[in-house]
Amino acid sequence: MKLAIVGSGHVGLVSGACFAEKGYEVLCIDNDKKKIATLKKGVIPFYEPGINELVLTNRRKGRLKFSTSIKEGIDNSEIIFIAVGTPLGEDGSADLSYIENVSYEIAKYLKDYRVIVEKSTVPVKTGERIKTLISKYAPGKEFDVVSNPEFLQEGKAIQTTLFPDRIVVGVETKRAEGVMRKLYAPFKAPLIITNLVSAELIKHASNSFLALKISYVNALARICELSGADITQVAYGIGLDKRIGPDFLKAGIGYGGYCLPKDVAAFAHISEQLGYNFNLLKEIQKINVTQRDWFVKKVEKELWVVKGKKIGVWGLSFKADTDDTRESPAVEICQRLLELGAHIQVYDPQVHKLQLSDAKHQIKFCRTPYEAAKGVHCLLLVTEWNEFKQADFKRLKKIMLHPTIIDGRNMFDSTMLQRLGFTYRSVGRN
Ligand code: UGA
């Protein structure tokens, strides 16, 4: 079976490489000529554990190819995936212009029956719009539109694509269902067949539910601090209930990344358009935004006057095992502290540069965690990279101006740090 994937970002490239790994012939397409040229040289434009090897192996076997031509993909492939970005529009809606462009291009070159799969995260009813557009510009041509949302997690993208918890496929015809069943036959995961809108809704509902769990535990963390409880114990205590589950109950500095913030906003927006005011989603967002303020206030409380203080920061990506800084709470915290007049020196294992919007306020990048901690009034842990767990705290204490650590991810052992003479603050743990 031959597949084409339009959009070679995190989702498109990882999906393409994983399908190739399963034995399919995959053409990954992107209109960014530079990106395709780079990929053809075997260079991956982002950090994701294992992706380099997977791409290399499958290219060598001739199963994974790259192109800038949508026509080439449509001429030769049975299934065309749309995996382009759906960024956040100004009003909170998903900006679907890339999806619309690709749909138009597909219509332009469509000849024989093709299954067109939306892989990008889209608001419910987008599939219908794609179908209408293609029918309009390719009248009389045979095709089906399918919704097949992806649930990959950055940092674990290959594992979560090759071994997903479930595969969701929204179809309108038996013919399309047959093609999709054949495609996913080599995957060992429950396959859920729904109609188009249900599949679209499952994606937004899943991401929003994950965000709900995180905001819930972050709100609990604040109550823990006010009452003297410990959020790690509370989260453990509730997570052992099988109906609740232990995942996504880690309190911290709020959720970030390209997906959760934008999807919760887009879901709230489309719900309102459909006629339902989904206030719960707005509360999730509110808790998330104020979680960062709360963390900055912790820093202010420790330092008193932030202006002129040197602050070391460990981590910048929105979570560990990725170099992605989009909507990263760590970046936002740095930005706020810079605005308050702090000098920020950062170490992140994978992020080595970042242009902040305000050219006046920039952060200094360091090559080691110790360089970032040198001479600082306090050190912030904002991304939970494993490397930080192995830190030599005795060495750290000697190089910091004052041994204060504020841990936004509850990564460190407070008893051990206090015994070593650190002032240690974390989230929801007294
Ligand atoms: C998320 C979903 O988890 C994927 O299932 C989905 O496919 C993807 O979005 C998408 O829509 O493409 P991802 O954005 O890679 O995946 O990141 P997550 O692992 O979900 O983490 C999101 C944020 O929540 C991070 O900032 C993380 O640090 C934070 N988080 C996560 C917490 O603060 N606490 C937790 O317990 C878990």
pLDDT at 313: 98
CA–centroid distance, residue 288 to ligand 1 (Å): 13
> What's this model's pTM, rounded to 2 decimal places?
0.96
**Is the CB–ligand 1 distance for residue 127 below 6 Å?**
no
Q: Which domains are delineated in the chain?
A: 2-194 (3.40.50.720), 285-425 (3.40.50.720)
**Is the CB–ligand 1 distance for residue 151 below 6 Å?**
yes
pLDDT digits (tens, 9 = 90+) for 49-97: 999 999 999 999 999 999 999 999 999 999 999 999 988 888 888 899 9
Residue 328 Cα: closest atom of ligand 1:
26
Separation CA 391–CA 389 (nearest Å): 6
Spatial CA neighbour of 7 closest among 121, 91, 113, 153: 121
Secondary structure (3-state) at 116: strand
CA–centroid distance, residue 363 to ligand 1 (Å): 25
Secondary structure (3-state) at 376: coil
Q: What are phi and psi of 4, to 5 degrees?
A: -120, 140
Q: Which residues of 173-197 are buried (b: 16+ CB within 10 A; e: fewer)?
A: eeebbebbeebbeebeeebeeeebe
Q: Which of 28, 259, 366, 378 is catalytic?
A: 259
Spatial CA neighbour of 74 closest among 104, 41, 54: 104
CA–centroid distance, residue 283 to ligand 1 (Å): 18
**DSSP conformation class of 89:** P
pLDDT at 299: 98
**Is the CB–ligand 1 distance for residue 259 below 6 Å?**
yes
259 as an active site residue: the answer is: yes
pLDDT at 350: 97
**Residue with tokens 């729904």, as numbered in its chain:** 194
pLDDT at 359: 67
Separation CA 265–CA 253 (nearest Å): 18
Residue 211 Cα: closest atom of ligand 1:
24
Neighbour order of strands in the sheet with 310-314: 364-365, 343-347, 310-314, 378-381, 404-407, 423-425
pLDDT at 112: 97
Residue 318 Cα: closest atom of ligand 1:
26
How many Å separate Cα 173 from the centre of its chain? 32
CA–centroid distance, residue 154 to ligand 1 (Å): 8
pLDDT tens-place values along the chain, 430 residues long: 999 999 999 999 999 999 999 999 999 999 999 999 999 999 999 999 999 999 999 999 999 999 999 999 999 999 999 999 988 888 888 899 999 999 999 999 999 999 999 999 889 999 999 999 999 999 999 999 999 999 999 999 999 999 999 999 999 999 999 999 999 999 999 999 999 999 999 999 999 999 999 999 999 999 999 999 999 999 999 999 999 999 999 999 999 999 999 999 999 999 999 999 999 999 999 999 999 999 999 999 999 999 999 999 999 999 999 999 999 999 999 999 999 999 999 999 999 999 887 767 789 999 999 999 999 999 999 999 999 999 999 999 999 999 999 999 999 999 999 999 999 999 999 8
**Is the CB–ligand 1 distance for residue 198 below 6 Å?**
no
pLDDT digits (tens, 9 = 90+) for 156-203: 999 999 999 999 999 999 999 999 999 999 999 999 999 999 999 999
CA–centroid distance, residue 170 to ligand 1 (Å): 23
**Is the CB–ligand 1 distance for residue 318 below 6 Å?**
yes
Residue 322 Cα: closest atom of ligand 1:
15
CA–centroid distance, residue 192 to ligand 1 (Å): 22
Q: Which residues of 13-47 are buried (b: 16+ CB within 10 A; e: fewer)?
A: bbbbbbbbbbebbbbbbbbeeebbeebeeeebeeb
SS (H, E, C) 267-301: HHHHHHHHCCCCHHHHHHHHHHHHHHHHHHHHHHH
**Residue with tokens 């008893």, as numbered in its chain:** 415
Q: Which residue owns the Cα nearest ligand 1 atom 5?
A: 151
**Is the CB–ligand 1 distance for residue 204 below 6 Å?**
no
Question: What is the token pair recorded at 404?
Answer: 């204060």
Burial class (CB in 10 A: 0-12, 13-18, 19+), 410: buried
Q: Are 372 and 346 in contact (CB under 8 A)?
A: yes
Give the H or E element holding residue 102: helix 97-109
Spatial CA neighbour of 281 closest among 263, 271, 266, 268: 268
CB under 8 Å to 69, separation ≥6 — which residues?
A: 29
pLDDT at 358: 74
Spatial CA neighbour of 26 closest among 41, 44, 6: 6
Long-range CB pairs of 227-232, under 8 A, 24+ apart, other chains included: 228/430, 229/428, 229/430, 230/428, 230/429, 230/430, 231/410, 231/427, 231/428, 231/429, 232/410, 232/428, 232/429
CB under 8 Å to 103, separation ≥6 — which residues?
A: 82, 116, 130, 133, 134
Q: Which residue owns the Cα nearest ligand 1 atom 30?
A: 255
pLDDT at 244: 97
Separation CA 324–CA 51 (nearest Å): 15
